A and B are shown apart, each in its own frame.
Chain A
Amino acid sequence: KNEVEQSPQNLTAQEGEFITINCSYSVGISALHWLQQHPGGGIVSLFMLSSGKKKHGRLIATINIQEKHSSLHITASHPRDSAVYICAVRRSGAGSYQLTFGKGTKLSVIP
């Protein structure tokens, strides 16, 4: 079983829809990242969370440490949001150099 699971794997939405991508993990963590990867490969860090909730523009990320779960929400989605969204965790303790990644959620927003 993967230590970081994302759902859904693929998501197609109409422009304007509210979108939720989920991430569950099974290890102790010190931080969780949400990353965005556009076609062409470059990765951008959207959020780094260790507790609670963060908001940046139309993007909202939440984390529940007790339930080992995080969500990324996109309000009023737009075609330019089409990308792969990746959840990554930094483990606490031994192995904390590394990030462990989910397999990504491919989002397509249709005009």
Chain B
Amino acid sequence: DVKVTQSSRYLVKRTGEKVFLECVQDMDHENMFWYRQDPGLGLRLIYFSYDVKMKEKGDIPEGYSVSREKKERFSLILESASTNQTSMYLCASRGQGHWGAFFGQGTRLTVV
């Protein structure tokens, strides 16, 4: 079974802190995605990566950056966390040519 693992289930950070959310997948998938999920808005794509060191902006990239130094790991970075970034963050991965996506368990981030 594909496993997509996010480093934390719950995280509380202070405004202005730099925050790293880590995602690791074990199936050699090329494509990895970061989403945030908010009540009434559903899942929205922040960034995705289709290969090592490659990244593309999604629908709401402002305030975020990403890093993909190794194929199995895709990191989401909040350079200076703000309260409006309090949300559930979900990572997903998908193999090239496959149209099924596998999701991590989610990280609930609270910025105070």
Alpha-carbon distance A48/B99, docked complex (angstroms): 8
Distance in angstroms from A1 CB to nearest chain B CB is 14
Distance in angstroms from A107 CB to nearest chain B CB is 15
Q: Is the CB of B90 within 8 A of A41?
A: yes
Tell me the interface secondary structure of chain A in the complex.
Answer: strand
Classify chain A: how many residues form its interface, as a range.
20 to 34
Tell me the interface secondary structure of chain B in the complex.
Answer: strand
A42-55: CB near B (< 8 Å → 1, else 0) gives 11110010100000
Q: Is the CB of B99 within 8 A of A43?
A: no
Interface window among B21-29, B40-48, B62-70, B78-86:
B40-48
Classify chain B: how many residues form its interface, as a range.
20 to 34
* A103 interface contact, C-beta 8 A: yes
Q: Is the CB of A104 within 8 A of B42?
A: yes
Q: Is the CB of B43 within 8 A of A86?
A: yes
**Known contacts A42-B106, A97-B48, A97-B56; is-contact A33 B101 (Cβ 8 Å):** yes
Select B99's contact among A30, A41, A101, A103, beta carbons within 8 Å.
Answer: A30
The 4 closest A-B pairs by CB, nearest first: A41-B106, A103-B42, A43-B103, A42-B105
Between-chain CB contacts (< 8 Å), 8 pairs? A42-B103, A42-B106, A43-B103, A45-B103, A88-B43, A97-B31, A98-B48, A99-B33
